[in-house]
Structure 1
C-alpha cells in the first residue's frame, strides 16, 4: 500500500465533513470513504469540534478557549506567588536591618 501524500484541508471543509457525520444518516466510516479521508482524521475533527462546541450548563468539559484561558491564568498565578515570596523575603531582610 503506497503512502498517501499529506493533504491540507480548509476549516470550512472540515466543518462540512463534521456536519455530515453529525447529521446521523451516515457513519463516520461512510463519510470518510465518500470524501476520500482517513477515518482517523475525520474522528479527530469530530472530537475537536465537540470539544470546541459550547456545552450545556451541566457539562464539566472545557472548551478550547477556556483551556487556553485557564493555562494563562495559572501562569499568572504562579508568577504572582513568586513575586509575593520575593517581597516577603525582602521585607524580612529590611526589617532585620533596621533593628
Structure 2
C-alpha cells in the first residue's frame, strides 16, 4: 500500500512539474506576442502567426524564438536568421489603418 501511494505521489509530482513548465512557456510566448504586436501593430492572432512562422521557417522551437524576441526587446540584439524572418513576416502582415479620433 505504501509503495502504491509513493508511486502515486511521484506521478503527481511529475505532472505538477510539467504543468509549471507549460505555464512558464505560455507566459514567454505571450510576452513575445506582445513585443511583435507593439513592433508590427498587429492583432494578437497575427502576432501568434508571426511567431509560429518564424519558428517553422528557422527550425527553432517556438519557446526559444519567443525568448529571443523578448531578449531583442531588452537589448536590441537578435540573431540574423530570426531577424530576417521577423522582418519578412511583418512585411507580409499589413498594419491596420489608423483611425482618426
Q: By the TM > 0.5 criterion, same fold?
A: no
TM range (shorter): 0.3 to 0.5
Relative contact order, higher structure (CA 8 A, sep 6+): 2
Structure with higher Rg: it is: 1
More helix by share: 2
